[in-house]
Amino acid sequence: GASAPELARLALRVALDGEESLTWSTVYEEIRTRKEDFDELDSLLLLHCMVRMDCFDRTFFSKLVDRIECRYFSMELALDLEHPALELFSHEGSYRSLVDNLPIDHKVKLILVDDIQREDGRAPRRRPKKEADAKAAWQTMEPVDMEEKEKERFYKGRIRVIDTRHVQARVSRMRPGKKLRAALAVQLMQAIPIATPSALAQIAQVTALSKERLLHGDLQSDFQEALARRLCSFENSDVVPCVIAFACGIASYGGPAAFQAWRTKVVPSIVRALKPEFVAQNLDAQHALHPRLRGLPHKAAALDASTLPKEDVLRARLDRAVALFVAVTTAKQVTVDCELFDALANPVKRFLEQFLELQAAVGHADPTIRSPLELLADIASALVTSGVRDVQLAGLLARAFSENFGEDIASGSLAHSRYCASDLATLAHALAYAGGEGAGDAVEAIWTVAEPKLRSTAPHLALMLLDAVVRGGSEELLTSPPLLTAVDELLVQRLDFDPAMLGDLGH
């Protein structure tokens, strides 16, 4: 087998030139399963390859980030001047300058560390508590000279509680990438005042996907306000091609500059982009999106509808319409009225219906032409969040679920999706809330696939699913033994719920 440096250079050739005899999947599988670690320069090569090939692997990428982070903060200055990584990125003769000059999309990947997985809704495992060691419990007192303590307290006039318990500190290692993330986030913050619309949209993807705080204290709000102020300085015509990226990026912002950005730039650009006669062209022109927005694969670059298959174009348009629908309806500082809701929901309904017609035309023979369950769950969640009872959209969701997954569930194969509890509960809740044609049948199908995993589901999701089944299920389903047993176990025998858990019922 090839050595680690040889594999890294081979991966670079495949990613850049595409050797005919090898594919990226073949090379990456050998890289991922290799026991020998890659050095810090080879790690940069593999980072570049993974960005270029749209490759996401949290487990393996964490090892690369750990190696890059350790070298970035080390005192070692020497560099291998003949390494290919030095030709890819500009530098000033040091490894730190090499990382500092990485493109924005590379820094975004390093900051996120590929932590983009969706929640599956499983209840966390409870670890059994260890029995206390009686002998060790007697050794938790530190030697204290009480006379000296009383003398000090008398002369200094301070009355404090004396801590006499001996606590053994546990040494734990910081998660890979946490320290590097803060340094790179500060660099992106410094680049915001001079960023172009496309560059700013790429920077905004950090806050669209990050599950943790990028910066500590006021720096987090300063980062958000700086990005929103820069967004306000652009013309609306410059915002339209990146409006989905901006809407997803600033959806969680709560400062005054973000409020101004929504009112003066983002919402007007959305209304302009979603005009019925131009909506398809404007969605095709969107770029600077993260390839795994909301944990689902997306086409990040602008589309050329004339060179792509029809199903790929429809899927991309539907994904982008849903991304905009979800971002605006769940934004912290946006009040969605009926007019704005219709402007956002109409493209979703239009492209979802076209996609279902395409599926019917091919007779479901092609398994790649399928709406993911996660996409339907995202639409359902945004529908409930908006507070608008759109029966037509709910009917389309029920139809899409039944046509894509009904036969798979009825046969028991369960091969078309992972059927995560969070997605099933969210979809069932929306269908029971809004109704629509076929909603009852879809809720029953959801119950069929969700019932076996109900005991391992997070309590708030199980409660939400039961509520949806009771509201949207048929009389036959409500009197079935499995449902009665589940209600007895999860509701009747558990009258008390954790208040923090109940705060998540509107999932």
Q: How confident is the model at residue 244, as a pLDDT? A: 95
**DSSP secondary structure letter of residue 38:** P
Q: How confident is the model at residue 282, as a pLDDT? A: 94
And the tokens for 457?
A: 């589901």
Q: Which helix (H) or strand (E) holds 440?
A: helix 439-450
Summarize pLDDT for 283-334 with one digit per residue, the tens.
999 999 999 988 888 888 899 888 888 888 999 999 999 999 999 999 999 9
Summarize pLDDT for 268-281 with one digit per residue, the tens.
999 999 999 999 99
Sign, Cα dihedral of 441, 444, 450, 452: negative
And the tokens for 110?
A: 């390093």
Q: How confident is the model at residue 120, as a pLDDT? A: 84
Phi and psi angles of residue 457, each rounded to the nearest 5 degrees, phi first: -90, 150
Listed in sequence order, the residues at least 6 apart from 192 whose beta carbon sits closer than 8 Å to its beta carbon are 200, 203, 223, 226, 227, 230
**DSSP secondary structure letter of residue 263:** I
Q: What is the pTM assigned to this prediction?
A: 0.87
Q: How confident is the model at residue 505, as a pLDDT? A: 42
Q: How confident is the model at residue 19, as a pLDDT? A: 59
**DSSP secondary structure letter of residue 293:** G
Q: How many contiguous H segments (helices) and E segments (strands) does the chain have?
A: 27, 0
Q: What is the DSSP string of 47-116?
A: HHHHHHTT---HHHHHHHHHHHHHHHTSS-----TTSTHHHHS--SSSHHHHHHTS-HHHHHHHHHTT--
Q: How confident is the model at residue 504, as a pLDDT? A: 46
Give me the residues of the chain with pLDDT under 50, please.
503-507
Of 379, 394, 397, 474, nearest to 436 by C-alpha is 394
Of 195, 181, 307, nearest to 242 by C-alpha is 195
Q: What is the 3-state secondary structure (H, E, C) of 365-393?
A: CCCCCCCCHHHHHHHHHHHHHHCCCCHHH
Of 227, 242, 233, 221, nearest to 192 by C-alpha is 227
Q: What is the DSSP string of 208-231?
A: HH-SS-SSSTHHHHHHHHHHHHHH
What b/e sequence results for 193-218 when a residue is b if at least 16 CB atoms lie within 10 Å of its CB, and e otherwise?
Answer: eebebebbbbbbbbbbbbeeebbeee
Q: Which helix (H) or strand (E) holds 267?
A: helix 267-273
Listed in sequence order, the residues at least 6 apart from 478 whose beta carbon sits closer than 8 Å to its beta carbon are 469, 470
**Residue for token digits 């694969």?**
297
Q: How confident is the model at residue 114, as a pLDDT? A: 86
- Please count the residues of the chain: 507
Listed in sequence order, the residues at least 6 apart from 47 whose beta carbon sits closer than 8 Å to its beta carbon are 64, 68, 106, 109, 110
What does the alpha-carbon distance between residue 473 and residue 466 come to, in Å, rounded to a whole number? Answer: 10
And the tokens for 358?
A: 């395409």
What does the alpha-carbon distance between residue 439 and residue 233 come to, in Å, rounded to a whole number? Answer: 46
Q: How confident is the model at residue 423, as a pLDDT? A: 94
